[in-house]
Amino acid sequence: MTSDEALVASRIASAGAGLAVRDETADDQRDVRDLHTRAFGDGERVPGLVEALRVAEAELAPMSFVAVLGGRVVGHVLMSAARLDAPRRIVDVLTLSPLGVLPEHQGRGIGTRLVAHALAAADSRGVPLVFVEGSPHYYGARGFEGARALGFRSPSLRIPDAAFQVARLSAHEPWMTGTFVYSDVFWTLDCVGLRDPED
């Protein structure tokens, strides 16, 4: 076991006491909005992304999970439909975004539990691949690998190579490589890659 894997295991254990991960319900949506507003601190961008992805028409329905501690929603993860433009055919895949935990509960393994739960749920539905755009240190210790090195192409030049990652699940087959394509919602809300800071 690597040191990163040991750290993840210890965080999962520490998050276990009293924490439940379950499907998001309509009653959770206001708490999820508040959570992402606090976790990301960027106004409407991330909460708006969540709301738009919940109602977007797609081949794969979104999968949305909350972490609840003491009756309070303290974490949330959403996986939504995306596509892989593979040489043989278009493959329906998922993208994991966003993942958020209330600031006062960060560093306790809640995000780790949410990611593990989300990947297991995707695997049980026969989804072959889950993509994420984020920290390679964080997601690399939680089942993701650098996507470009595995034969995948990023949907945007604004995504740093290290941030473009994929989790290969049991239904993945070797021919499933190619270009990852975000759903229209990500493009419409400008939630792909990094923009240059304004002067």
Q: Tell me whether strands 129-133 and 178-181 are parallel, antiparallel or unpaired.
A: unpaired
Separate counts of helices (H) and strands (E) for the chain: 6, 9
Instruction: Name all domains of the chain by residue range, CATH numbers in brackets.
Output: 3-188 (3.40.630.30)
With a cut of 70, say whether residue 136 has pLDDT above it. yes
How much of the chain, in percent, has pLDDT values that exceed 70? Answer: 89
Averaged pLDDT for residues 15-41: 89
pLDDT given for residue 56 in this prediction: 82
Q: In angstroms, how far is CA 106 from the centroid of its own chain?
A: 16
Which strand (E) or helix (H) includes residue 5? Answer: helix 3-15
Residue 154 contacts residue 101 (beta carbons within 8 Å)? no
DSSP 41-52: -STTHHHHHHHH
Residue 17's pLDDT band, with cuts at 50, 70 and 90, is: low
Q: pLDDT of 79-128, one tens digit each?
A: 999 999 999 999 999 999 999 999 999 999 999 999 999 999 999 999 99
Averaged pLDDT for residues 126-136: 97
Residue 16's pLDDT band, with cuts at 50, 70 and 90, is: low
With a cut of 90, say whether residue 58 has pLDDT above it. no
pLDDT given for residue 199 in this prediction: 46
The lowest-confidence range among 5-9, 20-24, 32-36, 82-86 is 5-9
- Torsion of the alpha carbons at 173, 146, 122 and 20, rounded to the nearest 10: 150
Residue 131's pLDDT band, with cuts at 50, 70 and 90, is: very high
The rounded mean pLDDT for the chain is 90
118 vs 8, more confident: 118
pLDDT given for residue 176 in this prediction: 97
Averaged pLDDT for residues 54-66: 86
pLDDT given for residue 43 in this prediction: 72
